[in-house]
């Protein structure tokens, strides 16, 4: 039986994950929905976008690593049951292939660069240099490669942003640049959120859910054998393991749902800045770091089970 599916004594893991997700979602709405009364934008708010993109990269990496662990555990079960004799790495593909993970890192790196450039917009001494840097970023994105490894929608969104960046004008003020680019940045972040999946049957969430279905299937088969033998103590143990696995599955899917909300939250933060509203990016950063802690806690829990 897959050690990832053993009972860890944390029967409330799924409920805790759901509850925390709800709390974070409510806080995220509060962080991005407060009415603004000022039509100016500060350097701190602009720099915060790049900082949030970097934090989102860490959250994405942690989620991908967790998803890979479960997917490979499911493939181990499948491989052992197959009776195959030869052992190679091919039968154990990760949930997120290395080239796809690299595409996500590259995409978020570009967003971080964009955010850092935003932070210089309020400095009148760097106006022309910043405009040139925006244009250069647009040229880099205009090759059609950025985002292609994630989805066609993300690649198209990057191309749209690239087209806007290469046409930047040094005479345009910070707020004007934000407003011009906001539809493109928002479209990009929304496309990335869609690649994560709006439901547990779509995108990366669907891939992870399918891996869990394979893993829990092993427990179902084991239970059928125990039931045929009328081994009630064994049956009870397997049921507990099965329920624990379902709890972990829901916790991981909740983490991926929260990752999707983080992308949408960053889109809202950019739109808020473009609108001149005072909506603190700091709260969004706290939310992202909080979600990252949850992903790491879940990964640690699984690793501890492996060591038993």
> DSSP string of 226-237?
HHHTT-HHHHHH
Cβ burial of 237 (10 Å; 0-12, 13-18, 19+) is middle
Question: Average per-residue pLDDT in the chain?
Answer: 78
**Distances in Å between the alpha carbon of 65 and those of 76, 97, 174, 186, 256?**
17, 11, 38, 26, 12
Whether residue 37 is predicted with pLDDT greater than 60 in this model: the reply is: no
Separation CA 92–CA 15 (nearest Å): 31
Predicted pLDDT of residue 187: 95
Residues 209-231 have a mean pLDDT of 89
Predicted pLDDT of residue 43: 64
Predicted pLDDT of residue 9: 44
**In a domain? residue 88:** no
Total number of domains constituting the chain: 1
**Distances in Å between the alpha carbon of 158 and those of 65, 105, 140?**
25, 14, 10
Separation CA 227–CA 217 (nearest Å): 15
Residues 259-279 have a mean pLDDT of 84
Residues 188-196 have a mean pLDDT of 95
**In a domain? residue 92:** no
> pLDDT higher for 12 or 80?
80
**In a domain? residue 193:** yes
**Domain around 69:** 3-80+97-307
Residue with tokens 């092993």: 218
pLDDT band at 161 (very low <50, low <70, confident <90, very high): very high
Percentage of residues of the chain with pLDDT beyond 70: 75
Predicted pLDDT of residue 125: 67
Predicted pLDDT of residue 200: 92
Predicted pLDDT of residue 15: 43
Predicted pLDDT of residue 25: 40
**In a domain? residue 251:** yes
Whether residue 11 is predicted with pLDDT greater than 70 in this model: the reply is: no
Separation CA 192–CA 263 (nearest Å): 7
pLDDT band at 224 (very low <50, low <70, confident <90, very high): very high
**In a domain? residue 296:** yes
Predicted pLDDT of residue 192: 94
pLDDT band at 48 (very low <50, low <70, confident <90, very high): confident
Question: What does the pLDDT look like over 61-109, one tens digit per residue?
Answer: 888 888 888 778 777 777 887 777 778 777 777 878 889 899 999 999 9
Predicted pLDDT of residue 13: 46
> pLDDT higher for 36 or 149?
149
> pLDDT higher for 175 or 240?
240
Predicted pLDDT of residue 34: 40
Separation CA 97–CA 175 (nearest Å): 39
Percentage of residues of the chain with pLDDT beyond 90: 24
Residues 121-135 have a mean pLDDT of 75
**In a domain? residue 103:** yes
Residues 140-165 have a mean pLDDT of 89
Predicted pLDDT of residue 233: 93
Residues 148-176 have a mean pLDDT of 84
**In a domain? residue 86:** no
**In a domain? residue 147:** yes
């Amino acid at each position: 039986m897959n050690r990832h599916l053993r009972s860890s004594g944390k029967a409330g893991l799924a409920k805790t994950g759901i509850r925390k997700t709800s709390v974070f979602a409510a806080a995220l709405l509060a962080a991005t929905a407060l009415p603004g009364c000022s039509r100016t934008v500060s350097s701190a708010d602009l720099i915060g976008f790049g900082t949030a993109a970097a934090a989102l990269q860490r959250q994405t990496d942690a989620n991908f690593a967790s998803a890979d662990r479960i997917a490979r555990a499911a493939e181990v079960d499948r491989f052992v049951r197959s009776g195959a004799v030869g052992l190679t790495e091919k039968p154990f593909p990760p949930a997120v292939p290395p080239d796809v993970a690299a595409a996500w890192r590259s995409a978020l790196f570009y967003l971080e660069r964009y955010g850092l450039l935003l932070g210089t917009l309020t400095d009148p001494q760097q106006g022309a240099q910043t405009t040139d840097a925006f244009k250069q970023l647009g040229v880099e994105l205009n090759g059609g490669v950025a985002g292609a490894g994630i989805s066609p929608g993300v690649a198209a969104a990057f191309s749209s942003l690239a087209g806007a960046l290469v046409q930047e004008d040094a005479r345009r003020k910070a707020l004007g640049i934000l407003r011009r680019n906001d539809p493109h940045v928002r479209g990009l972040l929304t496309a990335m959120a869609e690649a994560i999946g709006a439901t547990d049957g779509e995108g990366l969430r669907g891939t992870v859910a399918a891996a869990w279905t394979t893993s829990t299937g092993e427990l179902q088969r084991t239970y059928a054998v125990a039931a045929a033998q009328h081994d009630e103590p064994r049956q009870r143990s397997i049921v507990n393991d099965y329920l624990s696995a379902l709890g972990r599955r829901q916790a991981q899917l909740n983490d991926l749902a929260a990752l999707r909300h983080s992308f949408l939250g960053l889109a809202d933060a950019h739109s808020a800045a473009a609108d001149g509203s005072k909506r603190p990016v700091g709260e969004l950063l706290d939310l992202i770091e909080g979600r990252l802690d949850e992903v790491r806690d879940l990964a640690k829990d699984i690793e501890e089970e492996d060591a038993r």
